[in-house]
Amino acid sequence: MKYKSCHLIEHGISINIDSVQACCLSREFNKGQLPILTNYSNNKINWDEIFEIKNRHRKHQKVQDLTLCEGCYNLREEDWDEEDYISFINFDHWSHCNSNCIYCCVQTYKQKQKNNILGAIKDLIKQKKFKPTGEITFQGGEPTILKEFEALLKLFIKEGAKIRIHSSGILFSRAIRDGLKKGNVTVVISPDAGTRETYKKVKRTDKFDKVWKNIEHYRKGLKEDFAKNVKVKFIIIPGVNDSFEEITIFLNKIKKLDIKSIVTDVEYTYANQNINNISPHVYMLMDYIEDFAKNNNINYELYDSALYAQRQRQSEKITEFNPENIEKVKNQNLNKNIKYQNS
């Protein structure tokens, strides 16, 4: 199959600590490399240079697949859009957080925001090179403590953009709440636990009750059409939170708060090291969550590692959820000595 196009190569950028990339997806298939577009500092980005490099990427992809992109699920059999504009922006340019998750690589940088970016985004909009047809994403640290966060959020809301914010949920943001009410904002909060004890193991901070209370505040009073924009995430971390009992408590909280969207992922380190040998136990947990979502009319979404894991399921013995199979795998002992990125 010959892949032709990618919306991120066409119209996306990912703003890292010291560079602008085409995206933030990095897997074993590209040996951790990312297609860097340009370096930047001091609030300035040369947009003409960005578009020139993007055009070269498009031209190369038309002739042969980009080596760095081989196997990526964003590649599509579609015609290229040749127009120069940005509609997908991923903010990943700081590494300060108010949590300390065992699976997160952010804290390993041990540095706060290095560059301001607000001026460069204003310049992009002034040049009429931004279109609100894609999605704006905040991740890479805790957005609510980024000094330019509220100004950026208000700017994109004014432009009519859709914004996805990955937050620890520890700090309540009125700007996020206002964006949720307008329907522009989606917030993704990842407690990864149903109990305080497990939350403290994963996050290494004792903010369990506060996070769930903030989830409730974000959800409360939203119009039915916007309720699905409060997404609560569970990252399956083998050896840490991978029990049916833990997830059942988590799902009961989802139901009690009338949450309309669940996101599931598999911890990055485990998934990368075991991509061809994902435990049936992990698959069963994924199916257990999905089955709950279907039965309770809740949106179900898979993130990066879980999407890759799903590709391997055809060779697995347990391929779909069956309540009778739970007893067979729920006490299965997975590796308790996995070295996670920040453990």
Q: Look up the CATH number of the domain holding residue 239.
A: 3.80.30
**Residue with the larger pLDDT of the pair 299 and 146:** 299
Distance in angstroms (rounded) separating the CA atoms of residues 112 and 237: 27
Distance in angstroms (rounded) separating the CA atoms of residues 312 and 234: 20
**Residue with the larger pLDDT of the pair 79 and 12:** 12
Give the pair of three-digit tokens for residue 116: 């301001």
My answer on whether 136 and 222 are in the same domain is no
| Residues facing 189 on adjacent strands | 167, 232
Asked if residue 1 has pLDDT above 50, the reply is no
What pLDDT score does 158 carry? 94
My answer on whether 269 and 141 are in the same domain is no
Distance in angstroms (rounded) separating the CA atoms of residues 250 and 227: 18
What pLDDT score does 162 carry? 97
**Residue with the larger pLDDT of the pair 274 and 159:** 159
What pLDDT score does 66 carry? 53
Distance in angstroms (rounded) separating the CA atoms of residues 156 and 153: 5
To which H or E segment does residue 165 belong? strand 163-167
My answer on whether 56 and 116 are in the same domain is yes
84 occurs within a structural domain: yes
**Residue with the larger pLDDT of the pair 134 and 30:** 134
Quickly list H helices, the chain.
7-11, 47-63, 118-126, 149-158, 174-182, 196-203, 208-219, 224-227, 244-256, 268-273, 280-295, 304-310, 326-329
CB 286 within 8 A of CB 320: no
- Read out DSSP for 59-71? HHHHHS--GGGTT
255 occurs within a structural domain: yes
**3-class secondary-structure state, position 322:** coil
How many structural domains is the chain composed of? 2
185 occurs within a structural domain: no
What pLDDT score does 68 carry? 59
My answer on whether 332 and 197 are in the same domain is yes
90 occurs within a structural domain: yes
304 occurs within a structural domain: yes
Summarised one tens digit per residue, pLDDT across range 233-266 is 999 999 899 998 999 999 999 999 999 999 999 9
Q: What are the CA-CA distances from residue 70 to residues 52, 247, 276, 297 (Å)? A: 22, 34, 17, 36
Q: Model-level pTM?
A: 0.86
My answer on whether 132 and 199 are in the same domain is no
50 occurs within a structural domain: yes
Asked if residue 343 has pLDDT above 90, the reply is no
Distance in angstroms (rounded) separating the CA atoms of residues 258 and 219: 8
**Residue with the larger pLDDT of the pair 65 and 203:** 203
35 occurs within a structural domain: yes
Summarised one tens digit per residue, pLDDT across range 73-130 is 677 777 778 899 999 999 987 778 889 899 887 654 455 555 578 999 999 999 999 9
239 occurs within a structural domain: yes
My answer on whether 132 and 215 are in the same domain is no
My answer on whether 139 and 209 are in the same domain is no
My answer on whether 205 and 154 are in the same domain is no
Asked if residue 35 has pLDDT above 70, the reply is no
Mean pLDDT taken over the chain: 84
DSSP 81: P
Domain region containing 310? 190-343
My answer on whether 343 and 231 are in the same domain is yes
What pLDDT score does 108 carry? 47
My answer on whether 194 and 152 are in the same domain is no
My answer on whether 6 and 151 are in the same domain is yes
Give the residue from 168, 292, 294, 180 showing the smallest Cα distance to 235: 168
What pLDDT score does 94 carry? 74
Give the residue from 174, 86, 98 showing the smallest Cα distance to 137: 86
My answer on whether 155 and 201 are in the same domain is no
To which H or E segment does residue 323 belong? none
Please say which residue of 160, 178, 201 terminates a domain.
160
